[in-house]
Structure 1
Amino acid sequence: MEKAWAEARARTSARARARAGARARARARARARARARARARARARARARARAGARAKASAKARAKTRQELEPKPELKLQLELQFEIKF
C-alpha cells in the first residue's frame, strides 16, 4: 500500500494533488449542506405536525362546545314539560 501511494505521489503533480484535496473538501461541504437541509426539513415537518396537532385540538374543543350548546338542558326540558305538558 505504501509503495502504491509513493508511486501515485510521484506520478501526480502538487497542483493535481491540491486540486484533488479541494475536490474532497468541496464534497465534504456539499455533504454538510445536504445534512443541514435535511435537518431543516425535519424541523419544518415537526413544526407542521405540532401546528396540525394544535389545530385538531382547537377544532375538537370547538366541536365539543357546540355539541354542548346544542344539547337540550335537562332543566329546560323539565320546564317545557311542565309549561306545555310536552313529553320528550
Structure 2
Amino acid sequence: MVYPIEPRIAYVEGDVAVQFNYLIAGRSQTYVVTLQALEDHFGLNPAAVASQQRDVAIGEAFQRGWERIRNVAARSKCELDGGHHIVLHTDDF
C-alpha cells in the first residue's frame, strides 16, 4: 500500500523540483519530480515558474499529475541520487 506525505518545493541537482515521501510496504522513500517532467506532462507553464506565483503553479501541476506521479513512483526502479532521493525525470513518464 502507498501513502503520500505532503509534497514540498525543493532544490535537487541545482534545480527547483517537487519533493515528496511515500510509505511503501512500511518503508519511507523520498522522491523528486523535476520541473521539466511537470512542464512536459502535467501542464506547468514555464512562465509561471518565473513569476511570483511559482509555488502555486508548481503545486497545481503536481496535483494535476498526482495519480500518474504516484503510479510511476510506486513502480520506480530508478537509482538513488547522491542525496538519497529517487528522481523522476520527464522520461520516466
Which interval holds the TM-score relative to the shorter structure?
under 0.3
- The structure with the largest helix share of the pair is 1
- The structure with the largest strand share of the pair is 2
- Pick the structure with greater CA Rg: 1
The higher relative CO (CA closer than 8 Å, separation ≥ 6) is in 2
- TM-score scaled to structure 1, two decimals? 0.22
